[in-house]
Amino acid sequence: MNESGQSRSWLGALLALAVIVALFLTYRAGHEKAVDDGANVKLERIAVALREPRNALQVYRLSGDVRTTSNVKGGPFELLEARMTASQPWSVSYFVDMRQLGLDDYIWDPANRTLRVRVPDVTSDAPNIDASRRKVDMGGLVITRGMQEQLSSAIATGARRQAQAEATRPANVAAAREQARRAVAANLRGPLQVATGEPVRVEVVFPSDERPTERWDVSRSIAEVLGSRP
């Protein structure tokens, strides 16, 4: 083959290579765009699922019995004495207020199919004292109506105080918080799996999980990702 033929052969090879590279780059760009579009659609579906109306989620319930004793004096010159001891059931419910959450509280990790959600701490309602099931032991020779009313009022106040102290005991709050992790994750997992079409892991984070010298997370939230998209 002469020099002219060799040149044309090399030129043809280069042109073929250029076409192959161009086709590859076009395919890769299209593939990456399709992947990005798919990720965007999935993220938008997740955002819609997380915007669904939510309320205060009951996550834990604590119950028990409280025993209270009260003594009073009454009658002429307060010569009469009376005592009342009462045992009655009580209960308290703990909640996580999901209404406080915005998209900036959700961080989506697509690689690990994990949603990290930052929630407010658990709160409890006022303890419920079931006075209808009260068991009472009375003591005193003569108990006037006024003395009985004072005893009942003191018993009710003492029962509420003891139940509230038990509800806010650190061990019980910690138990409520751990149960809340499972309840919040279960509450979110269903809508997320529908939105993504695949199993999703939910990690729940409370303010108490944050160390004083550290930030919550350096990852971008769903609100930040959606807000930065062109």
- Tell me, what's the pLDDT at 5? 58
- Tell me, what's the pLDDT at 78? 79
- Tell me, what's the pLDDT at 195? 79
- Tell me, what's the pLDDT at 69? 92
Query: Strand 135-139 vs strand 80-97: parallel, antiparallel, or unpaired?
Result: antiparallel
| Residue carrying the six token digits 């009462």 | 86
- Tell me, what's the pLDDT at 96? 95
Q: Please compute, for residue 82, the number of CA atoms within 13 A of its CA located in the half-sphere on the CB side.
A: 24
- Tell me, what's the pLDDT at 29? 46
Can you give 130-178 as a three-state secondary structure string?
CHHHCEEEEECCCCCHHHHHHHHHHHHHHHHHHHHHHHCCHHHHHHHHH
80, 74 in Cβ contact below 8 A? yes
Q: How many Cβ atoms sit within 10 Å of the Cβ of residue 2?
A: 6
Going residue by residue through the chain, which has 230 residues, state the pLDDT in tens, using 9 for 90 and above: 555 555 666 565 556 555 555 544 454 444 343 333 334 556 777 777 777 657 889 999 999 999 999 999 988 887 889 999 999 999 999 999 998 988 888 888 888 888 899 999 999 999 999 989 999 998 888 888 898 899 999 999 999 999 999 999 999 999 999 999 999 999 888 888 887 788 889 999 998 886 654 444 456 777 776 665 55
- Tell me, what's the pLDDT at 94? 97
